[in-house]
């Protein structure tokens, strides 16, 4: 008998299913595209604002001429030696902090688990302050110390990555404990430092773009260009890890290897950015939740990188001009912005029903 | 059918026409956590194309056995063979294409939609650079249709009821499309209607697709009704194994659960129905 079950004709339900799935995808996809477009435009706009609208205003026409290689007296120096490098480094560092923070939060399935909360950034700080205060060095050795410090802190946290059950919980707890201990170390070093050393250390600690050079930018650009694609590639597996270790393993994810890989990329990103601009407060912590709010459902490391860039460029502009006559460190502004934003996020639960 | 306290070697193995050897086997398997041995010397041949239910009291090691079969736990001794190969020696992704596993309480990520979650079931079929194929699309659409979730595809999973959520997880493993499937207590926390829903679906996966299913169930009656093959465990060992009608006897129930019980036959299906009477141990 060729008469099929009358309730299910062969083609009709499949078409309607395909339509339903297409409809279910359309909403989030459009939203994601819109969010990315707006964020990219926002980054570009903020870079222009930061680079051109300082104390000394540079017109867009002059800026194009300067970048084209034609010197404009006065404007050339301001743009090329101060505002443009600051704006660019803010984008690069912000993207690194944002991507690293979001990846770590998703990896550990915990919104608290950003590198700045878990002592990875503090590892960099403690090592850098030690270098300044104990060994009296400045410049590159401080950068290298910061790198080493964050790597050591990450290794301590990674020590908990394997083993059975609850690895993420242990990683978060160990990270928080580590952060507390390292913070105490930083304070103790500052207390016993001479006033000048303490001054040096504090400038670095509050996160600042004041001393950025083109060499810094080149270094950060290379590292970002290498690390961000790796972070995005690994982030493609994070959605599956988000279902829990057991299910992720059952779906073919090598859980411990992924955890180690993501942690190493996160550390490298954080260390690269921290070495140049210092531990800019809260950017890693905030970017992930903001990105998740903008693009719900999917962990979005790319969107978080854009959010981080927007936050740091915007905060640096505010820091430079909010209080007339005083250039605040950028970390002060991100820290000040961070607390209310966090409270706002706690109050407004995310919309759980997307589309309609 | 005999009941044995220690090694189950003497239990007659009358798996219903297990065709051409078993694809998933445990050989003298010992599993544990830290210094505690939870599964102690289990040898098991999972009948291919059948539904096997593992039953036993809380803490008897049935979920641990399932995790061991799904290579989520490295054996202390003995081995698990998937298609004749040591399961731990196969690439993770390769195992995930042949063997699906649904843990008891997977994590529902915040705000993720039904469609996105079911799509994640296709993960083992993708390479490092994920590309979404027509085959992926077909598998996801079919999984949603069979679990009656098409109209909920855009809805956030964390806003669904427990019964609907369990259907979403089953849709995900359906989309994974593995010939072998391990389910850990797929009906826990569900009311009786949703339990039947889930078990009917599992039954169809076995009957229509030929999927080999191993599920841990705590409800002996449901296990007797829905499984072709029962494995009764106590204290990390298999106490009895065979067809439900042979395993579900007052003697086995007392040996496994420590309760006296009366066993009747379901007037409709003939499957054993258990009426527990009193605790004996």
Of the residues B98, B118, B123, the best mutation for testing chain A's interface (the one with the most A CB atoms within 10 Å of its CB) is B123
Q: Return the DSSP state at B47.
A: P
Output A149 or B6, whichever has higher pLDDT.
A149
Please indicate whether, in this complex, the C-beta atoms of A20 and B130 are within 8 angstroms of each other.
no
Residue A264: pLDDT over 80: yes
Exposure of A52 by Cβ count < 10 A (0-12 exposed, 13-18 middle, 19+ buried)?
Answer: buried
Pairing between strand B212-216 and B51-55?
parallel
Measured in degrees and rounded to the nearest 5, phi and psi for residue B274 equal -105, 130
Instruction: Please count the helices (runs of H) and the strands (runs of E) in chain B.
Output: 9, 12
Mean predicted confidence (pLDDT) in B238-249? 93
The structure tokens listed for A66 are: 């300067």
- Taking only the tens place, the pLDDT of each residue in B149-166 is 999 999 999 899 988 999
The alpha carbon of B91 is separated from its chain's Cα centroid by a whole number of angstroms, namely: 22
pLDDT at A302 over 50: yes
A39/A24 Cα distance (integer angstroms) = 24
Residue of B nearest to A240 (CA): B120
In the prediction, which pLDDT does A67 show? 82
Contact B245, B269 (CB under 8 A): no
The predicted structure's pLDDT at residue B198: 92
Per-residue pLDDT band at B15 (split at 50, 70, 90): very low
- Give me the mean pLDDT over the B193-199 stretch: 92
Do the Cβ atoms of B113 and A24 come within 8 Å?
yes
pLDDT in tens, A170-191: 888 899 999 999 999 999 998 8
- How many of the other CB atoms lie within 10 Å of CB of A166? 11
Q: Where are the domains of chain B?
A: 8-279
Q: What torsion, rounded to 10 degrees, do the Cα atoms B62, B66, B68, B71 define? A: -170
Collect all residues with Cβ–Cβ distance below 8 Å to B11 and sequence separation of at least 6. B1, B2, B4, B238, B240, B241, B242
CATH classification (class only), B8-279: alpha beta
For residue B182, the model assigns a pLDDT of: 97
Q: Is the distance from CB of B216 to CB of B66 less than 8 angstroms?
A: yes
Are the C-beta atoms of residues A223 and A268 closer than 8 Å to each other? yes
* pLDDT score recorded for residue A14: 61
pLDDT classification of A320: cutoffs 50, 70, 90: confident
- Interatomic CA distance for residues A291 and A298, integer angstroms: 10
Q: How far apart are the first and last CA of chain B?
A: 22
> What would the mean pLDDT of B180-184 be, rounded to a whole number?
96
pLDDT at A331 over 80: yes
pLDDT for A6: 44
What pLDDT, on the 0 to 100 scale, is given for residue A165?
Answer: 62
Two tokens at B176? 């994974």
pTM for this entry: 0.84
pLDDT one-digit tens code per residue, A42-53: 999 999 998 888
Q: How confident is the model at residue B11, as a pLDDT?
A: 38
Instruction: Please report, rounded to a whole number, the percentage of residues in chain A having pLDDT higher than 70.
Output: 91
Mean pLDDT, to the nearest integer, of A339-355?
60
The kind and range of the H/E element at B191 are: none
Cα A245 to Cα A117, A238, A250, B126, distances in angstroms? 23, 11, 9, 19
- What digits encode the pLDDT tens for the residues B130-146? 678 889 999 999 999 99
What is residue A106's predicted lDDT score, i.e. its pLDDT?
A: 87
Nearest to B109 among A21, A242, A253 (CB): A242
Q: What CATH class is the domain A32-347? A: mainly alpha
Interface test with A, best of B24, B73, B111, B175 (most A CBs within 10 A): B111
Which of B109, B36, B161 lies closest to A243 in space, CA to CA?
B109
pLDDT of A86 strictly over 50? yes
pLDDT for residue A11: 44
ipTM: 0.86
B150, with CB counted inside 10 A (0-12, 13-18, 19+), is buried
């Amino acid at each position: 008998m060729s008469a099929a079950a009358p309730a299910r004709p062969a083609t009709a339900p499949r078409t309607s299913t395909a339509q339903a799935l297409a409809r279910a995808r359309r909403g989030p996809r459009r939203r994601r595209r819109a969010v990315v477009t707006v964020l990219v435009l926002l980054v570009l706009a903020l870079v222009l604002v930061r680079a051109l609208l300082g104390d000394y205003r540079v017109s867009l026409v002059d800026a194009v001429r300067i970048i084209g290689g034609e010197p404009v007296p006065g404007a050339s120096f301001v743009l090329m030696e101060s505002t443009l490098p600051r704006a660019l480094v803010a984008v690069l560092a912000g993207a690194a902090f944002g991507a690293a923070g979001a990846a770590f939060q998703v990896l550990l399935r915990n919104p608290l688990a950003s590198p700045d909360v878990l002592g990875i950034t503090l590892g960099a700080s403690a090592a850098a302050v030690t270098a300044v205060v104990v060994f009296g060095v400045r410049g590159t050795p401080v950068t290298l110390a910061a790198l080493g410090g964050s790597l050591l802190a990450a290794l301590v946290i990674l020590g908990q990555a394997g083993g059975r059950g609850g690895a993420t919980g242990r990683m978060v707890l160990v990270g928080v404990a580590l952060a507390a201990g390292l913070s105490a170390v930083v304070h103790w070093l500052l207390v016993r430092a001479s006033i000048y050393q303490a001054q040096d250390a504090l400038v670095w600690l509050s996160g600042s773009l004041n001393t950025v050079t083109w060499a810094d930018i080149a270094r950060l650009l290379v590292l970002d260009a290498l690390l961000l694609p790796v972070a995005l590639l690994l982030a493609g597996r994070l959605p599956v890890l988000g279902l829990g270790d057991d299910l992720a393993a059952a779906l073919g994810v090598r859980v411990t290897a992924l955890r180690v890989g993501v942690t190493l990329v996160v550390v490298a990103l954080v260390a690269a950015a921290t070495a140049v601009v210092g531990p800019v407060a809260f950017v890693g912590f905030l970017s992930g939740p903001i990105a998740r709010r903008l693009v719900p459902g999917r962990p979005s490391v790319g969107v978080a990188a854009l959010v981080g860039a927007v936050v740091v460029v915007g905060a640096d502009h505010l820091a430079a001009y909010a209080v007339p006559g005083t250039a605040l460190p950028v970390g002060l502004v991100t820290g000040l912005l961070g607390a209310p934003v966090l409270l706002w996020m706690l109050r407004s639960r995310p919309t759980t029903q997307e589309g309609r | 059918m005999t009941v044995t306290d220690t090694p189950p070697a003497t239990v007659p193995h009358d798996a219903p026409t297990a065709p051409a050897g078993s694809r998933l086997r445990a050989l003298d398997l010992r599993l544990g956590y830290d210094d505690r041995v939870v599964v102690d010397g289990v040898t098991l041949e999972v009948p291919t194309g059948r539904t096997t239910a593992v039953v036993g009291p809380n803490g008897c090691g049935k979920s641990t056995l399932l995790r061991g079969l799904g290579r989520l736990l490295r054996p202390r001794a003995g081995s698990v063979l998937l298609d004749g190969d040591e399961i731990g020696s196969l690439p993770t992704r390769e195992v995930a294409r042949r063997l699906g596993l649904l843990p008891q309480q997977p994590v529902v990520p915040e705000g993720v939609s039904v469609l996105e979650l079911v799509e994640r079931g296709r993960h083992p079929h993708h390479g490092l650079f994920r590309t979404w194929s027509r085959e992926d699309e077909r598998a996801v659409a079919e999984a949603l249709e069979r679990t009656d979730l098409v109209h909920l595809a855009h809805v956030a999973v964390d806003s669904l009821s427990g019964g609907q959520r369990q259907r979403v997880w089953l849709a995900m493993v359906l989309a994974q499309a593995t010939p072998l499937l391990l389910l850990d207590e797929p009906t826990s926390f569900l009311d009786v209607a949703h339990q039947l829903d889930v078990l009917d679906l599992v039954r169809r996966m076995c009957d229509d697709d030929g999927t080999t299913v191993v599920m841990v169930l705590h409800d002996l009656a449901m296990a007797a009704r829905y499984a072709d093959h029962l494995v009764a465990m106590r204290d990390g060992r298999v106490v009895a194994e065979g067809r439900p009608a042979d395993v579900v006897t007052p003697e086995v129930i007392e040996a496994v659960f420590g309760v006296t019980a009366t066993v009747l036959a379901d007037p409709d299906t003939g499957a054993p129905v258990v009426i527990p009477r009193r605790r004996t141990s």
